[in-house]
Structure 1
Amino acid sequence: MRATLIHLMEQLLWFTEVVRNPVFVQGSELGKVEDVVIRLEESAYPVLTGFLVSVNDTSIFVSSDKLSVLSEESIATDQALAEFTPFERRPQEILIERDLLDHHLIWAKSKLRPRLVKAKDVGFYRDTATWKAVSIDVATAHRSRWLKAKRTSDGHSQVDWLDLVPLVGHVPTARKRLELRSIRKLHPAQLADLLEEASEVEGQEILGALQADPEFEADVVEELAPARQRDAIRHRTDDEVGELLSEMEPDDAVDLLLSLDQERRESVLAAVPAPAREPINRLLHYHPESAGGLMTTDVICFSPTTTIAEACEKLRGREALPHNLWSMFVTDRDGHLLGQVAISALISADPSDSLGSHATTEPPVVRPDSDLSEVAVLMADYNLAALAVVDESGVLLGAVTVDDVLPRTIAPGWRRRQEALSE
């Protein structure tokens, strides 16, 4: 049906055309439609299962199985009066007006920027004997640029249901929580943007899905603004926060740790597994806005005699590589910095060449107490993606990477890119 949905736009029956309409049983009006019930399906269009009908201040359920008429004017059913029962939610069922309208959905298909949108209406199409929710009228700022939604003659802006991911964690019986695979293709920064727009309940639903992949979750949390980072861990135990910090880059982990109340920092730090705790402890000695506070200690170092082939083999053999690996460093056996090698050099170099022969000797460096402005200017002057941080004797301590400098040097509020990108 997806391929032909664009041709079915004028045949859709909209929720707003049905709600408040009269429902007839054997020619007599039973009551009026209060809401529409749909059953969520896995990777398929939801099925219309019935209607919530208001009868004498009681909500009863009218099943879709015995409908004889469903139109913009009225609804009629062959269901016997004795078969009507008070409405009770069943597994995977949600109500259109109560649970979906004016709630957020993730519109993730856009290659420009995924967005949170609000459902304003739902369009139904009759597929043989079953009515299915196939389209959603969405509302969002700058809709025409971002959504590329199909606009019909009656003013609806339609998005295919299968291109949207509803956030229904607030519905106890929905039994359909946001799954990681629904959002896994999004970049961590894109998910951070969604979390910035989401309510606290919606944010917890998104974060709940991310917990299935701790490393990916850490990447997303690293992209969040400080206030949202605190929201992300507010309801977690110290042990859970410690595990999250262990998956984050040490410098980002320190930033999050320092954002916690003083009385909680020690217990959270104690919960960080020992291998990850040591670099965090080391960075805590530096001012957060200094080179030492900004640097990551997760750097790749080789001796100058290591060949390109040997270096590549060792990199492939590592369990994980730094996500911001742009450069490697050449050091002596005591850790003194001898040079810096761009990763791009590995591509064109002869595999038998030594790293030392391709290293930039005497690369720009900063001391751990250098301030942010010095770091930023030096990186800009030398077009560096990574800047070495050394102690007074020239021992390599770590590196400041461009992804940690940029957020601190551009205008406040940069995370709220919706306004900037829409102008």
Structure 2
Amino acid sequence: MSRLLRRAVVGARGQRLGRLSDVIVRLRGTDYPLVTGLVAELGGRRVFVPAESVTDWGTEQVLLSSARVDLREFERRDGEVLLRADILGHRLIDIPRARLVRAYDLELAHTPDGWVLAGVDTRPTSWWRRALGLTRPAHDRHDADGGEPIGSGCRDWKAFEALIGHEPTVLLRSRAGRLRRLKPPQIADLLEEASGEEQTELLQQVHADPELEADVFEELDEDRQSRLLRDRPDAEVAGVLARMRADDAADAINDLPQERRQAVLELLPTGQRAKVTALLGYNPTSAGGLMGLDFLALPRDTTVAAALDRVRTATTLQPEALTTVFSLNDHGKLRGAVSLVALLQAAPTARLREVTEPDPVRVHPDADLIDITLLMTDYNLLSLPVVDDDDHLIGVITVDDALESTVPNNWRRREPAPHPDPADDEIEPSANQSGAPQAGQQPLSGAAPQPSGPDPT
């Protein structure tokens, strides 16, 4: 792309018409974006040049089949992306590595459908190459297997999600689902690193999947979550909180301005509102404030087979809450606890009273964080039951909530440990499956065809 932007646009007889300003591609879901035209600067005006009018752009100029050009001012249509204005020099989401990177150069390659956007170079070009107008040689861009780059940082376009900032294309891009390959904590990390404009676009894409949106908001740090929710109307805030865990929703409501809390609370569904209201009565740093209301407690005469069936069908409970099953006596009091692994290893006909640990460790709602963490550490607990004065089970503290509460706030700002780079076959389908440009097709730069992968330029 950096080479193209320096080239003159000339007519069929060699007459100079102007200079190439940008390249237009059309998004095609999971396929490579197709080049549909160019934007040329002619006499101080930006005009559209259809891709089919270009007969040659592999030399030092862009040759058109005719000198006749529509001189109306170029206007972008829905689904169109401008490579220079929208992507080159902008940040993208590196999906396999779950981080924001910058596009320093782009690769175009020829396919049976036409020219496509095939690759992204995420490493800046050295100053001396920029001064001499050079880019890294195309044949150095990929290894012999078409996989990891050799030095250049240029990789397959399908490994990235663009943050284009052009609202009409957001829906088209979100349908491709690349962002949904990331886990909610990874998307939350991206939001915390992103600029204001990048945050807006990320949230637009996440908003298309309400369940994912709720999971992402649960993972945000309190300050960021509070700022993002405050910018939304009450109905939208309630829509997000309705899908969050009740304990996280209660924390989010506590972080809202006082004058908005009741209005948002009243917009919640009845069941969620009852849970959140109950949790709001506890100190946020106590066991009552930390506990979740998802747990599985069964009569102690329940068989192991029946208990496992209840675990299997408890699809509305968070998975962390199902690592332990609790048993109750005839009066509904807590009498035992058993891990899911122990249940799986027990005889199906055995009763819970026979396999549960009697008199399990528990705390009252007013227990503080130090007591909670010491108990969970000393007894190697994945979940800690919370009981009332009558020994009735009212909630459970899971180990992830305990860890989150004990991590110092300044640690959250630390650079996360790097993820091991995934194997190529875990990032994208093979070239033959995905429709990637194949070897033997003409690269724009005129370099020799590569053994596999997109023909680079």
Regarding TM over 0.5, the answer is yes
Equivalent in the alignment of 1:46:
33
The Cα shift of 1:422 comes to 8.1
Q: Is the 1:207–1:232 Cα contact (8 Å) retained in structure 2?
A: no
Match of 1:124 among 102, 108, 111: 108
Query: Of Structure 1 and Structure 2, which has the larger fraction of its residues in strand?
Result: 1
Q: How does 1:12-411 map to 2 (within 5 A)?
A: 15-25=1-11, 26-71=13-58, 73-108=60-95, 110=96, 113-128=97-112, 130-139=114-123, 150-151=148-149, 156-172=152-168, 176-179=172-175, 181-324=177-320, 325-411=322-408
Spell out, residue by residue over 1:152-185, the C-alpha distance to the aligned partner (whole angstroms, 9 max, x if none).
Answer: 5xx6321101222223343546762423732333
Deviation at 1:97, TM superposition (A): 1.5
Unaligned runs of 5+ residues in structure 2 are: 125-145, 421-457
* TM-score normalised by structure 1 residue count: 0.86
Q: Distance in 1 between matches of 2:221 and 2:90?
A: 23
Q: Percent identity?
A: 38
Instruction: Quote how far apart the aligned CAs of 1:394 are.
Output: 1.8
Paired residues, number: 397
The runs of at least 4 consecutive aligned structure 1 residues that moved more than 6 Å come to none
Q: Deviations over 1:206-258 (max 9, x none)?
A: 33333444333322211111122234434433223223222211111111111
Residues 249-275 of structure 1: CA distance to partner in whole angstroms, max 9, x if unpaired? 111111111111111110000011111
Deviation at 1:86, TM superposition (A): 2.4
1:128-171 alpha-carbon deviations (Å, 9 max, x no partner):
5722110111259xxxxxxx98445xx63211012222233435
More divergent stretch after superposition (373-382 vs 413-422): 413-422
Structure with more contact order per residue of length (Cα contacts < 8 Å, sep ≥ 6): 2
Q: Would the aligned equivalents of 1:254 and 1:284 in 2 still touch at CA under 8 Å?
A: yes
Kindly indicate whether the alpha-carbon contact (under 8 Å) linking 1:242 and 1:272 is maintained by their aligned counterparts in 2. yes
Change (3 A) 1:397 1:279: same
Give the Cα separation in 1 of the matches to 2:307 and 2:188. Answer: 34
User: Is this contact kept in 2: 1:168–1:176, CA < 8 A?
Assistant: no
How far apart, CA to CA, are the structure 2 residues paired with 1:128 and 1:342?
A: 57
Which region of structure 1 is more displaced relative to structure 2, 130-139 or 279-288? 130-139
Query: Counterpart in 2 of 1:5?
Result: none
RMSD over aligned Cα atoms: 2.5
